[in-house]
Structure 1
C-alpha cells in the first residue's frame, strides 16, 4: 500500500531513509493540522540528529555506489524522465495532499502539480548536456580541460507554502547531475514529500539517492545544517532562519543556496488600464493567501490615479470569495498555520496604530462555516508609509499596503528602501520607463505588465536579505556541480622540478 493510499485520518508517517520507511529513533511523532478545521489529520516522525545521520550516511553510500556513481548521464536523464511520468500520473492525488496540508486552493495546487513534470523533463534533458570545455593555453604540449561533477550530498530544507514545487526546482537538477539528497520538509507539510519519495523509488532510483527526514527545524533541521557530510545546503524560508543556517553551514565551510524573505514593490503608473492593474496586484498579493516570498505586498500608485485605484482595489478585495480550498468557486482559502493567522492579525493592528487606514478586510471572516479554520480576509491598507512596521517586515499573508508616489525618482527611492530584493513588478505602457525601472530596482526578478509568472527555464533568486544563489535554467546546474581542472602533459619531456611551468 502506497503512502497516498494511506492518507487517512490519523495516519502515522515515517521517514524515508535508504529506500525504506523508517521509524524515528526516538519513537516520537508530531501532528500536522488541517488549516480548514484547525484539527490534526496525520502524524509524522519527529526526527532528530540520529535520524539525520542515518539519512546522510545512506546518501553518502549511494553517492559512491557504482549503481549511481557509474550510471551514465543519459541513464540518469531517463530516470528523471520516469519520475516526471509518475508525478504526472499522480498529480491530482499529490495536489489534494498539499491542499489538505497547507490550505491552498485545489486548483492552484493542481496547476502546480500539472506543470511540475515539465520541470523534471527539462532537467532530464540537461543530464547529458552538462559538460566541461577544452581551454587553450600557451603550452602546445599540454591538454587543459575542465570536468563538471556532482557536489555530493545536498541537504534540502523546504517550506510549507508550496512544498513540492519549490523542492522540484532544486531536486530535479541535483538528480540530473548525480548528487544524492537528504530532504527535511517543513514539520507542517511533510506528507507530499514523503509521497514523492515513494515515486522516486518506483521510478528506479537506487536506494539512498533521495532520503526524507521529517521533524522540527530546531532538531532535525539544525542537525542537517551542521552535519559534516553535507556538501551544500538548500533553504527556502525566512531571512532569520536563513542566517542561522548560514552560520551552521559556515562551521563546515559548506556553501548554501537560499531563497529568503521578500517585501516586493508592485508599481502602477497612470497610463495603464486600472482594472487590469488591479487584477495584477490582486494576483501578486492575495493569490496563495499572500503566503509567497514574491508577494507584491508594497503597492506604489502614481498620485494622479491613487484614489481611483484604491477604490477599485478595495472593491475587488471585498468581492474575493473566501471558502474551502476544494471548492472551485473559492478564491482565497485559509492560512496554513494558526501562528501565521496570529502574525497577520498583529501586523494589521500595527498598520492601523501607525496611521494606515483599512479600506477592505482587516479581520477574520464571520461566516459560521469558516470560523474553525485559519481564515483571514484579503486586506487593503491605504495611506501607508514606507517606514510603517507592516511595510517593512514580511507578513506572509493577504495584506497589501498602498501608497502614492509623484515621479520616477521618488518611486525608485521608495521601492529600494527595503532590506529585501526578491521581486518587483510595474504596470506601464511606457517601455522606456519600464526598462529604467527594471535596471534601477534592486530585485532578482522584475515583472512588467504581469506578476507572479514563473518559468523553470529562467534563473531566479534574490538580492540583499532575500538570499543568494540562482534557481532555474542552466544557472542552477552550475549551483549543484563542481568544476574540476585537468591538465595532461603529452610532451614526454622532463621539467625542472623546482620551477613552476608557466610556458
Structure 2
C-alpha cells in the first residue's frame, strides 16, 4: 500500500507559532503561559514554547490511550504506509527543516541538511520495513516424557512454543536538545511501528522542528491520538508524564541527573524504562596507528555539532611516542580548517552552543582547567576576519553575531586524570588530550570513568586493536574510526551512560511486550 501526500509548513521562523498537538489538534497550553526561546547564533527571541502542565499531559495521555486499541489492531502494512509517507514529507521539506533546526539549536544548516533530517526520514522507513516484514518470533519444540491427561494418567507429548510481541500501550518519549528532531524520530518510529501510541515531550530549549513534525504527521494521515506532542519544562510537563498512571513505558535521552530521577520515578511505578544518558568517551591512540587519519577523525569527533554529542571524543589518550606529533598536527589542522561562526555559511564547521545557560556551563569548565594549572589553548584561525575576539574563557565574538553563544575550539593538556574537566561531561567544543605509555595503562585510563557509552581504539596491529577494544567498558567501541553508524546494531551505555539498548531489533524489543505461547500435542 502506498500513500501520496503533501504538506505546507512555515518556512520562516517568524511564522512559527508553537502549540501542543493533542488528539490531532493544535491547542494552546491550559496555563496560557509560554517559555522564552532564543536563537543561539544571535541571542534574539524566536518562537515561544508552551509552558504546559499536568493538565495538558493528562489530556494527551487520555487521547493516546483512547487511540491505542485502533492503532495496535491496524495491520502492520497500513501503519507502514503512513510512516513511509511521513518519511517522504520529511525528505520533501528537508531544506526548511534544516534551516529552522539551525536557527533553533545552533548547529550548521549543512550538518542538519546532510545528516540530521535525512536520518529522521530513514528511521521511519527502517521501522516501516520492520513492521511490514513482521517481528521475528522464537519457536521451540520439546518432547516431554509425560503429560497429565487425567488426574491419575500420564502420556508422552510434544510441547510447542512460540513468542508473541505485542504493543505495550501508551509510551512517554522525552528527548534532548542536541539533535532535536532526530532524537524524536529515533524514538517515535519504532514506538508507533509496533502499535504503541505515545506522548512526546521534547526539550523546551529546541522545540521548533518537533512542532513542524506535527504538521507532517497530520498530512501523512496519522490517526488522531496516536502521536501527541506536549511542549514545556521537565518539571511542569516531563515529570507528570513519567508519573501518569496510564503511561506504560518511558524512553528518555538526556543527562545523568535527570535520568536517575526518571529511572527512580518510573521504576517505582513498574514502568518499562529506557535511559540513554551522557558520556565522556575515551580514545586510545597507539603509536603504530595511521596518525594523519587519527588526527583528522579526532578533530571531527571533538568539535562536530559544537561538541554537543553524547559520544564526542572528549578524552583523547595518545601514546607518548607520538604524543607531541599528534598535538602539533591537531593544532595546525584545527586552526586551518575549523571555521566557527554563521551556521548558515557552508564553510562553517560548527556554530554556537545551544543556549546561554549552556555557554555558562561550558566556559565554567574551561575556567576550572585554568585554575588547576592546565594548559588551555583556543585554536582559532588568526586570519579569520569574522573572529572579532576570544575571551580568556573561550567565548568568541563573531562579526554580525556579536550576541551569539560561541565557544572557541578548546584544547586542554597537562591536566590530571582526576580533574572534573576530565571526568565530567562538558558537552561542548572542549577536548582533553593526555599521554599514556603502555597498553595496560591506556586501558586503565580509558575505563577510569563513571560513563560507558562509546570509545575508540587506533592501531594498525589488528590483534592489539581487537584485544583492547574488547577490554573497554563501553556500549559501542570503534576501531580506527568514529561514529560510523549502523542503525541495525544496538546502541546504549554502561554505568552512568544508561540502562538499555535501542536501534533496530533492540528497539522493537523495548517497545513491545513479549509473551510465551505454549501448546501441547498428545
What range describes the TM-score normalised by the shorter chain of this pair? over 0.9
CA distance in 1, matches of 2:345, 2:31: 39
- Structure 1 residue aligned with 2:405: 374
* Residue pair 1:302, 1:405 contacting (<8 A) in 2 also: yes
- Structure 2 residue aligned with 1:261: 278
Q: 2:17 is paired with a residue of what secondary structure?
A: strand
Shift of 1:426: 1.7
Say if 2:475 is the partner of 1:470.
no
Runs (4+) of structure 1 moved beyond 6 Å? none
- Structure 2 residue aligned with 1:116: 120
* Residue pair 2:253, 2:277 contacting (<8 A) in 1 also: yes
Equivalence map 1:149-188=2 (5 Å) = 149-188=166-205
Say if 2:265 is the partner of 1:248.
yes
Shift of 1:7: 4.4
Equivalence map 1:70-109=2 (5 Å) = 70-109=73-112
CA distance in 2, matches of 1:228, 1:138: 43
CA distance in 2, matches of 1:174, 1:51: 21
Shift of 1:86: 1.3
* Residue pair 1:10, 1:41 contacting (<8 A) in 2 also: no
Say if 2:481 is the partner of 1:450.
yes
* Residue pair 1:317, 1:379 contacting (<8 A) in 2 also: no
- Structure 2 residue aligned with 1:338: 356
Say if 2:60 is the partner of 1:43.
no
Change (3 A) 1:70 1:255: closer
CA distance in 1, matches of 2:74, 2:89: 21
CA distance in 1, matches of 2:94, 2:489: 23
Equivalence map 1:322-337=2 (5 Å) = 322-337=340-355
- Structure 1 residue aligned with 2:414: 383
Change (3 A) 1:214 1:6: farther
Comparing 130-139 with 333-342, greater Cα deviation is found at 130-139
- Aligned to 1:145, which of 152, 162, 168? 162
Change (3 A) 1:270 1:148: same
- Structure 2 residue aligned with 1:440: 471
Q: 1:147 is paired with a residue of what secondary structure?
A: strand
* Residue pair 1:289, 1:335 contacting (<8 A) in 2 also: yes
Shift of 1:80: 1.5
Comparing 461-470 with 267-276, greater Cα deviation is found at 267-276
Change (3 A) 1:367 1:165: closer
Shift of 1:224: 0.8
Count of matched residue positions in the alignment of Structure 1 and Structure 2:
489
Shift of 1:147: 1.1
* Residue pair 1:3, 1:195 contacting (<8 A) in 2 also: no
Shift of 1:94: 1.2
Comparing 313-322 with 175-184, greater Cα deviation is found at 313-322
Q: 1:192 is paired with a residue of what secondary structure?
A: helix
Q: 1:135 is paired with a residue of what secondary structure?
A: strand
Change (3 A) 1:354 1:88: same
Shift of 1:251: 2.8
CA distance in 1, matches of 2:128, 2:254: 27
- Structure 1 residue aligned with 2:3: none
Say if 2:21 is the partner of 1:16.
yes
CA distance in 2, matches of 1:433, 1:167: 38
Comparing 142-151 with 441-450, greater Cα deviation is found at 142-151
Change (3 A) 1:19 1:269: same
TM-score by length of 2: 0.90
Change (3 A) 1:131 1:274: closer
Q: 1:474 is paired with a residue of what secondary structure?
A: helix
* Residue pair 2:306, 2:353 contacting (<8 A) in 1 also: yes
Q: 2:199 is paired with a residue of what secondary structure?
A: strand
TM-score by length of 1: 0.94
Q: CA RMSD in A?
A: 1.7
- Aligned to 1:136, which of 138, 141, 157? 141
Change (3 A) 1:432 1:404: same
Equivalence map 1:198-347=2 (5 Å) = 198-319=215-336, 320-347=338-365
Q: 1:99 is paired with a residue of what secondary structure?
A: helix
CA distance in 2, matches of 1:73, 1:368: 53
Shift of 1:369: 2.8
Change (3 A) 1:69 1:367: closer
CA distance in 2, matches of 1:308, 1:435: 25
- Structure 2 residue aligned with 1:497: none
Equivalence map 1:482-493=2 (5 Å) = 482-488=513-519
* Residue pair 2:290, 2:460 contacting (<8 A) in 1 also: no
- Structure 2 residue aligned with 1:356: 374
